[in-house]
Structure 1
Amino acid sequence: MASTDNAENITSMYDLKTDPENAAQPESDLSGETERDPEDARGLNIGHKLGDATKLEDAGLPNGGAAAWLVVLGAWCCSFSSPGWINTATRWTNSNALPPGVGSFQQYYEVGPLKDYSSSTIAWIPSLQLFFLFALGLVVGIIFDNYGPRPLIIGGTLLHVFGLMMASLAKTYYQFILSQGVCSAIGVASLACISTWFSKKRGAAMGIMVTGSSVGGVIFPIMISRMIQSTGYPWTMRTAAFLILGLQIIAILTVHPRTKPVPKNMTAGRFAAPFREFPFVMLLLGIFVLTYGIFVPIVYLAVQGSQEAQMSEEMAQYLVSIFNAASLFGRLAAGYSADTIGRWNMFIIACSLSGISVFAVWIPAKDSFIAIGFAIMFGFTSGAFIGLSGALPISVSPLPETGYRLGLVLLAISIPALTLAPTGGAILQNSANGWLDVKIFGGVMCLAASAIVLVSRLLYTEKKLFKVF
């Protein structure tokens, strides 16, 4: 499952832009007029025109050059190591409907050290990883605003690698929970926090960066599946940890803020400000609903392919890798297109197409060819969810509150991410129509969420439907 980081994302989910030296200066709205002092910033005060959404553009941003692209390289390594790993970990977060052989982690746990535990109990291990990736975004975002990305990347690297190393030695359920589900997961959340040096080319830069999680989502599942069979679980986890450590060393050396971070106090007014903005509340609601719609197909791709589409166990295991490969191109396309038609517009269009693809392709996907076609189509269209989720709150947030508001979006993702597998499993096992109801649930959630985000976008742009935003 893609964060599956998401992610991803987690991902560009952490599309943070910090310029503390300018944080003490007045901000500008879309028209370029100077507005309030950040010390009194309260987001988009509804008393102001909603079309004057705060836009965090800085004319001094380099939008290229060796230093800027090295930051993208380091961020790509973080994306590979954090949402990319979560793509693998949550790849095995299935319900009791999981058939034997589909999901090497799950299979290893069930027949090995955790054979006395049910599938649903074991599934809490990867579910916690996904939850921590997003739920800690609020804390990570505030730390980022005050201290920049490097302390988070260093700390995240240590926790992530240490957690995986300890998981390779784990024997009991609580050891797997603490090492893989908690320690490694907290490190993953920290690794996903990156900064960007781009404004005009931000969509393209973020599109390139988030392909890291897609590449990780392709490589890690195949690597884990093969190595567990050939070398065993312990050395599989250690090999993954060493690979992640090498990539994170690159990130530590290359990812840094353009200016030195300046700690800022978050007043009670700033904590409450996003919840007093109806458009921002609608954005949070839309992201919350959309998480169910996007993650349902990702979580159940392999299971549906094996059970309903009559695919072989080996082919079913590769469905998520196919999805992630298609998502790579979708994220690139969404990033480049967002610079032309607007990030919000691109996000809404892509997520609407994701819902349509569920109804048009996944519902009739009862043979292997259609199931593969859906994995490709849905992977491409849903790439914008990971690629642009972080860009939406940033584009309408006061600079000193960027990390905090992005953290709220990630928190809105964390609850569906944690409850998705049991919710989908309950629908699958208790409904009369089985897979049809699961698919309808996913499709309806995608389309409903797209409509909610569209309402938020219209409020921010004074109901201008065709505005680049």
Structure 2
Amino acid sequence: MATRSSITLQTLRDSSQEIPTRTESTIEKPNSPFQSDFPEGGKHAWLTVAGASACLFVSFGWVNCVGIFQEYYQTHQLKEYTASEIAWIPSLQVFFMIFSGLFVGKIYDDYGPRPLLLAGTFFHVFGLMMASLAKTYYQILLSQAFCSAIGASMVFYPSFTTVSTWFLAKRGAAMGLVVSGSSLGGVIFPIMLIHLIPEVGFAWSMRICAFLILALLAFANATMRSRVPPTKRPFEVMALLRPFKEPTFLLLTAAVFFFYWGMFIPITFIVEHALSHGMSLHLANYLVPILNGASIFGRTVPNALADKVGHFNVMIVMSGFTAILILALWLPATGNAAIIIFAALFGIGSGAGVGLTPALCAKISPLPEIGTRTGAAFSISAIAALTGSPIGGKLVADEHGSFKYAIVFGGVSCAIGCMLFIATRASLVGMKMAKM
């Protein structure tokens, strides 16, 4: 105990000069004065969790229904464009929402969550309102893939970081509740659009979704607050690049990149794959809500379990489980039952991967830099989100409609991600059996 105390005191004395390299001791014993008294609950903490879950509902949950727009634009406003050209709209929407975290994280560390939530509310809602009026390719691109996505990013990242300031021992469970909001959004938004577009038209469907987003973000603005005051630092490019000099952070970022690279293949192509094997369009359209509904379980139970047995331990198991599902179940699947079972199980596996990523970033980051470092890790994974689906689409086209090599690409990528999660854990505590 004396050794742990001396390490902590020395860390506090050095914190005004530079952030120390994290060792096993500093991971187990927090290295910030703010980390000694996490409430682990209370009214403000759980209201923050509720507000953060609403933010995930309207950001990642909204992005989860991008496939609806791909099909609609291809047969309506943008029917003169190729499917590949239209695909850049949802791809860039995902990219900008995730990649913007590199800058959103820095703003959060300097100013806290309030300015980001207010600005994000405006840009997200305004972008969707403009998309409801858009008629041309560039109008849709600017409104939905850029303006709305940037706004979504401004509410997406502060959610994880703000909740991290209230919880340590229960951080996994709290993060799971937050990320479950994205699963719920991924169920509700597609069903809303499927039923609203034929009833009230595309324009009013977008406006109704935008009004729902506005109401939820008003709730988030009223409830989310950080326990830790912001620490403003001069902007330095090296501050964004410095985490990548740490082998552990670099390994974690690479693991997330490869896992997300493979994970977006089923998310993008599961409906098209099902249709190619004879599933009806009506049933195939509900595969996305089935996947996202199952991910509610995947983003809550494994996170709560991770608090007991270790976040890296659970992430390794769930990422390996996801890779096996893709290669051993989805690859040979041809009938409706097998494809539906895969959608549900993949939702659990991939949901755990998404839900645990922020907790892993927080685990190897000093508290005052969680925003910047989480944003940096996610910004690299944005490149995976941007390129994974086009690579999969090219493999499908080259094989004349066969999904075989696209599925193999997705499964192998997730398997590489699993191995890199193992390497990250080894760099922290070696190969010994421990809660990590």
Name 1:360's counterpart in structure 2: 328
* Aligned-CA RMSD value: 2.0
Name 1:70's counterpart in structure 2: 47
In structure 1, list runs of 5 or more residues that go unmatched. Answer: 1-27, 93-102
Whichever residue aligns with residue 366 of structure 1, its letter is T
Shift of 1:52: 4.4
Name 1:321's counterpart in structure 2: 289
Query: Does the 8 Å contact 1:43/1:396 carry over to 2?
Result: no
Query: Does the 8 Å contact 1:302/1:319 carry over to 2?
Result: yes
Distance 1:412 1:302, change over 3 A: same
Which range moves more in the overlay, 237-246 or 298-307?
298-307
Which range moves more in the overlay, 400-409 or 128-137?
400-409
Name 1:421's counterpart in structure 2: 389
Whichever residue aligns with residue 251 of structure 2, its letter is M
Name 2:356's counterpart in structure 1: 388
Map Cα deviations across residues 275-314 of structure 1 (whole Å, 9 max, x no partner). 2212221111111111111111111111111112x11001
**1:260, 1:35 → 2: CA distance?**
20
**1:268, 1:29 → 2: CA distance?**
33
Q: Which is bigger in relative contact order (C-alpha 8 A, separation at least 6)?
A: 1
Name 2:409's counterpart in structure 1: 441
**1:375, 1:258 → 2: CA distance?**
38
Whichever residue aligns with residue 464 of structure 1, its letter is M
Name 1:60's counterpart in structure 2: 37
Name 1:330's counterpart in structure 2: 298
Name 1:44's counterpart in structure 2: 21
Out of 309, 327, 331, the residue aligned to residue 341 of structure 1 is 309
Query: Does the 8 Å contact 2:35/2:367 carry over to 1?
Result: no
Out of 384, 401, 424, the residue aligned to residue 369 of structure 2 is 401
Whichever residue aligns with residue 232 of structure 1, its letter is G
Whichever residue aligns with residue 100 of structure 2, its letter is L
Query: Does the 8 Å contact 1:155/1:190 carry over to 2?
Result: yes
Whichever residue aligns with residue 77 of structure 1, its letter is A
In structure 2, list runs of 5 or more residues that go unmatched. Answer: none
**1:26-425 mapped onto 2 (5 Å cutoff):** 34-35=10-11, 37-44=14-21, 49=23, 52-53=26-27, 56=30, 58-89=35-66, 92=67, 103=68, 105-192=69-156, 193-194=158-159, 195-196=162-163, 197-265=166-234, 267=236, 270-308=239-277, 310-425=278-393
Aligned length: 424
Which range moves more in the overlay, 210-219 or 424-433?
424-433
**1:144, 1:83 → 2: CA distance?**
19
**2:214, 2:411 → 1: CA distance?**
38
Q: Does 1:466 find its partner at 2:433?
A: yes
Query: Does the 8 Å contact 1:43/1:274 carry over to 2?
Result: no
Whichever residue aligns with residue 142 of structure 1, its letter is K
Whichever residue aligns with residue 120 of structure 1, its letter is S
What is the SS of the residue equivalent to 1:280?
helix
**1:433, 1:315 → 2: CA distance?**
20
**2:306, 2:225 → 1: CA distance?**
25
Query: Does the 8 Å contact 2:264/2:389 carry over to 1?
Result: no
Shift of 1:162: 0.3
Query: Does the 8 Å contact 2:258/2:416 carry over to 1?
Result: yes
Q: State TM-score, norm by structure 1.
A: 0.86
**1:411, 1:86 → 2: CA distance?**
16
Shift of 1:442: 1.1
**1:30, 1:82 → 2: CA distance?**
43
**1:5-16 mapped onto 2 (5 Å cutoff):** none
Identity of aligned residues (%): 41
Query: Does the 8 Å contact 1:51/1:459 carry over to 2?
Result: no
Query: Does the 8 Å contact 2:262/2:388 carry over to 1?
Result: no
Q: State TM-score, norm by structure 2.
A: 0.93
**1:230, 1:465 → 2: CA distance?**
59
**1:115, 1:359 → 2: CA distance?**
35
Map Cα deviations across residues 74-123 of structure 1 (whole Å, 9 max, x no partner). 0011010111101112xx1xxxxxxxxxx4x2333223221211111111
What is the SS of the residue equivalent to 2:194?
helix
Query: Does the 8 Å contact 1:334/1:383 carry over to 2?
Result: no
Shift of 1:269: 5.4
